[in-house]
Chains A and B, each alone.
Chain A
Amino acid sequence: MPSHERPLSPHLQIYRWQITSVLSILHRGTGVALAVGTLLLVYWLIAAAAGPDSFAAAQGLIGSIFGRVLLLGWTWALFYHLCNGIRHLFWDAGRGFELKTAYASGWTVVGASFALTLAAWIAGYMVRGGA
């Protein structure tokens, strides 16, 4: 610990929220959430490998209200991380760093993530044929 006062950089909480920083932390957040979500995928595959009874149990769990809410959240997290990941790949190629472009691509990612989530779920319910 320093024995005398030193200047500190402004704390995170005094900054005004900006879309660039919010989307940045969301990329991490969704990434961690998706890593946890792989547990569901592995469980589902093992259930399918184990036989009809365990598969039915897994489908019941995923099809419950709790399971659907989780799956909806993971669907959005997946599409968000996917779209924003492509935004990151453009940055890696040295493109899109202008503030105006970064804001526009950010809002595009937000819009695309919700649109794709909605499209996937509507398509899912249509395939299934009702609730």
Chain B
Amino acid sequence: MSDAGRALRSELGRVRGLGSAKEGVQHWWMQRLTAVALVPLLLWFVVAVVAHTGDDYAAVHGWLASPVTLGLMILLVAAAFQHAQLGLQVVIEDYIHGEGPKIALILLVKFASLLLGLAAVIALLVIAFGR
């Protein structure tokens, strides 16, 4: 922007920094934010699942129902599905070139991620608080 007088982008547009997709670095940032969150959450999850290998229903149910597990699992599910749908969106945008199928697939991925994440959270709440 050394020659601001000749730039085609308006001053307001430049300051807003949202670009042609009107979302700026939001997608990129959320992908990194959820990635950083998932590092400790997944390490915890793998260690916990390994520790409960072969446990019976009562033991697994009791572990999942504890408040700490419930909280960490909700965070894990939320971060994982947000991360997954952002990543799948990029893959679809890169490889599906027809505008119709591309938008249809992106919508499918976003709705499916939301529904699956919601289903997981409801299951976790049912485990913790009963029906």
Contact = CB atoms under 8 A, between A and B. Distances in A.
A124 B55 CA distance: 11
Contacts, number: 79
A22 to B, nearest CB: 17
Given A89-B32, A89-B36, A48 B50 contact: no
Contact of A48 (B51, B119, B123): B123
Chain A CB within 10 A, most for which of B36, B52, B84? B84
Nearest to A85: B35
Given A38-B81, A89-B35, A92-B32, A46 B57 contact: no
Contacts of B57: 48, 52, 55-56
A46 B84 contact: no
Contact of B50 (A55, A56, A86, A124): A124
**SS of A interface (majority):** helix
B123 A45 contact: yes
Contacts of B80: 38
A128 B55 CA distance: 8
28 contacts: A31-B84, A31-B87, A31-B88, A32-B87, A32-B91, A34-B84, A35-B84, A35-B87, A38-B84, A38-B116, A39-B116, A41-B77, A41-B120, A42-B116, A42-B119, A45-B73, A46-B119, A48-B57, A75-B46, A78-B46, A82-B38, A85-B35, A88-B35, A124-B50, A125-B53, A127-B51, A127-B54, A128-B53
